[in-house]
A = this chain, B = another copy of it.
Amino acid sequence: MRSAMLLTELDDSACLGVSRGDTPIACKDCGVYQLCLPPDGGEADGSILDQITKNRRIFKRGDYLFRLGHPFHSIYAIRSGSVKTYIWMDDGRVQVTGFHIAGELLGLNAINSKRYHCEARALETTSVCEIPFDQLEALVRSNLSIQYQILRIMSREMLQNQELILLLGKKNAEERLATYLIGLSRRLEQRHLSPCEFNLSMSRGDIGNYLGIAEETVCRVLSRFEEEELIELRRRYIRLRAPGRLAQIGGVAECAARESQVG
């Protein structure tokens, strides 16, 4: 038996946006591909890109990609699988700071201090491209647009963190979970994966920790959602039956309405 995976219900070749063979990630928005393709759609420097995409590693469930405080050497582009990142306080309280799926980059916030400032752990069998920072720097020097891509990626990550701050500061338990489900759904959709039917790779405890609520509250709210026929639930399998309604509950703007204006 393989370990729990996002989207085990779907066929393998589509799973997490990675095709079977050695072909690159199919999604325009993904990891190294995203990093190495200039925004104008031209081709990046093939040799360096090839070199980087060959640095593949597999992590099994529970393996650490990197650990808090350790020296920064690489950033990681997830090819398939999923990863959680978290930090903690001296007394042992832990805060999950993010779940990361195919196409996302990890470790960028270590650039400043040259040390990882969170811990990254695989939630399931996960394939990544490891990109040594010196290689990345060389890449940047050889190709100005890549530097700009990195800025864009970091800028986007900062936006996501702001959304999380809004969630933690102002939303109640129902809104938090609705927001979470819709956010996950949209990320899957961006990767051309089924946005309304998937398997969670993280536990209820992880979800609750991330959202700043207790594991039990996660269960209760999800049960309520199921009662109200907003979702269908079987352990880690979930189907969104009313994504629009969930977005409404979560206070998440429709994609199109994102650029709403001020008075």
Contact = CB atoms under 8 A, between A and B. Distances in A.
B151 A161 contact: no
Contacts of A154: 151, 154-155, 158
B118 A162 contact: yes
Interface in A81-112: 87, 89-91, 93-95, 97, 108-112
20 contacts: A67-B262, A69-B259, A87-B166, A91-B251, A93-B251, A94-B170, A95-B165, A97-B162, A97-B165, A109-B158, A113-B156, A113-B159, A115-B259, A119-B262, A140-B147, A158-B158, A164-B165, A168-B212, A169-B212, A170-B212
Contacts of A109: 155, 158-159, 162
Given A112-B152, A113-B155, 13 more contacts: A69-B262, A89-B251, A94-B170, A97-B166, A108-B155, A109-B155, A110-B155, A111-B155, A112-B153, A115-B259, A151-B151, A164-B165, A169-B210
Contact of A117 (B97, B157, B162): B162
A209 interface: yes
A158 B95 CA distance: 15
Q: Within the oligomer, what is the number of copies of this chain?
A: 2
A260 interface: yes
Nearest to A175: B89
A154 B67 CA distance: 21
